[in-house]
Amino acid sequence: MRCPYCKANDDKVIDSRASDGGVSIRRRRECLRCQRRYTTYERLEETIRLAVIKRDGSRMPYDRSKMIEGIRHAAYKRPVSSERIEQIADEVEEYLVSNFEREVSSQSIGERIAQVLRRVDQVAYVRFASVYRQFEDVGDFIDEAQDVIERSADDIPGQQSLFESESSGEAKA
């Protein structure tokens, strides 16, 4: 493992233990060159073999990195860490694996990401939902967005101005 401090490729493992209820192994490592310590997580690569059916009917293999990219865009400049984004992706994958066998629509994936994102960050949720729903039912999205904006204005002071500055101005009272 390459040391994050001095970039040397020489380390020893000081401690290993299961984490996340056994899903991953946490290893404490010490760099043999600079003696600094860092932590790595090792997890089994679970290849999800699902065909994703796009809106136009074409198929493509499921790709986690695309989902991560989508969430990352939605969460741009929001207080959502990379670690949290990975967790969101894990949660969505868990759902995919337990509910679909061979194929899943890109819409189902999008809906699920939106659901999870909604609990994490409302601004990221609205951004994400707008992308996923713009070709489906624009009316629904506007209702949904309005609902979220109104509630977030009540619940979280300061969020309304954020929405307003990012919209085209139509939302301004």
Binding site for Zn ion (CB under 5 A): 3, 5-6, 8, 31, 33-34
Q: How far is the CB of 43 from Zn ion (least distance, A)?
A: 24
Based on CB atoms, which residue is closest to Zn ion, 33 or 59?
Answer: 33
What is the rounded distance in angstroms from the CA atom of residue 50 to the CA atom of residue 84? 24
Cβ contact 85:75 at 8 Å: yes
Based on CB atoms, which residue is closest to Zn ion, 3 or 145?
Answer: 3
- Best CA proximity match to 63, nearest among 75, 76, 80, 51: 51
Based on CB atoms, which residue is closest to Zn ion, 9 or 99?
Answer: 9
Based on CB atoms, which residue is closest to Zn ion, 31 or 85?
Answer: 31
Q: Cα torsion for 128, 102, 85, 151, to the nearest 10°? A: 40
Q: How far is the CB of 7 from Zn ion (least distance, A)?
A: 7
DSSP 8-class letter at 54: P
Q: How far is the CB of 31 from Zn ion (least distance, A)?
A: 3
What letter represents residue 63's amino acid?
A: D
Q: How far is the CB of 4 from Zn ion (least distance, A)?
A: 8
Q: How far is the CB of 5 from Zn ion (least distance, A)?
A: 5
Helix, strand or coil, per DSSP, at residue 37: strand
Based on CB atoms, which residue is closest to Zn ion, 5 or 76?
Answer: 5
Q: How far is the CB of 14 from Zn ion (least distance, A)?
A: 14
DSSP 67-134: HHHHHHHHTTTSS--HHHHHHHHHHHHHHHHHH-SSEEEHHHHHHHHHHHHHHH-HHHHHHHHHHHHT
Based on CB atoms, which residue is closest to Zn ion, 34 or 53?
Answer: 34
What is the rounded distance in angstroms from the CA atom of residue 137 to the CA atom of residue 129? 11
